[in-house]
A and B are shown apart, each in its own frame.
Chain A
């Protein structure tokens, strides 16, 4: 931890209680003062920018252990810090999968060693994500695992899903579902619609997502257990979650920046860069997702940052793995694609996901004296062009290469330490 003081000068502090222009001073990992005319050893310019709690990503694939050629915990953490994140939930579809205390500890320790953001391991719902055997929830919860998911796969077996919810409910953890009835998406490449139909590729119907989402909402109603729904992508999904919340069920949901910004039409050229799971959908779905994000049906924006080494994406569209980068572009893409105010940005990027990830005691906190200094300084006006060659991620599979976006992360402070200054990672 830094023993010297850092002052963020002249920004607009964004808090649940409201916005105010103020300086923020950080000493010994904590916010030491919020006010005007503050002095310190390091002065960060925040004029024209917003100062909020650091972003929390509910959905990051760091690929380590197992696919270090695509990303490592260190390179992914650096990408996260550059994106304004001070915490990321590491998805468990590693190799070996995060279904044991040993692997979960490894991920957490590698994250601590990198020291760029908090790496929060998630756990699988089933052993090896095999959809058959439950993981030791209590042992993993004791290691600080809060989110359990088989992300990449939905849990197909309704009986197993019911048992998982029943077993995990008293442990105060959250099961997160990747909603996809796999029998309806066998060989699927892209959204089942007019575009896919004329391109002659197997379609990925909306019903595959909505059917499982509907099943799980009913299981939540039955068991009373809490559930989080990953990367909603369809209009029907938004409606299902809206209704579940109206019914008072303990459910939360996220959407990715790419499902808010990109349409299935982008696949016309058969470029695997735009292949993602769930697939890019239609303009109508995008409008419904935006409305859901604005009205509170959707709680969080999560990146589903999914790095892939170049050679794995240089395959036919049907053979290439799904997934795209997201950490370094999330704020800009959200701010460019959706007309949201800064308070809602802070809410969906930081405050809500911190709660869902179970780290609300030290992430997503107000900018106030005595709070842990996990802070992002960002604006909504800088216009820049995304270049895959300038990203910190080990992989290059961003769908936004060459795209002009608006809004940029200026500084990131993690546990009181300046890790990103003026858009550059300091370590």
Chain B
């Protein structure tokens, strides 16, 4: 049974969070020209695009390379569920010696990020990889932590978290209450 979802962040909150993260990325990376923004297919790609736009706006014209990475071929849970291919990987530059900001919507167990790190390696050897997420919902299963977070939200493992331009919503399933 589907329960009504609760709004955690509104559309304006999401927009403000993206702007804040863009500022943090600029502050943290003095050599901004070496940064590549890579969105994770498919939930992270729109956030990555917004981050690029925000950085361009804030810096008055610095356009960072924008890429996308599909991690379905790198998952470690094939036996647990069918693999569903999303959109193809598109990395526009060699990542060697670059600073990569990996972008996803929700950070949960960390397994997707682990797979993405492996996927990025096949496109070169970055100097550093930083992680930006809109929501950190906890329950990590791997030693992975985000560098930039839109919002930390305590959740139950069975909750569903959805992120879009319209906001962040959490749906709690009846049986998990």
A adjacent to B, CB under 8 Å: no
Which residues of A come within 8 Å of B, CB atoms? none
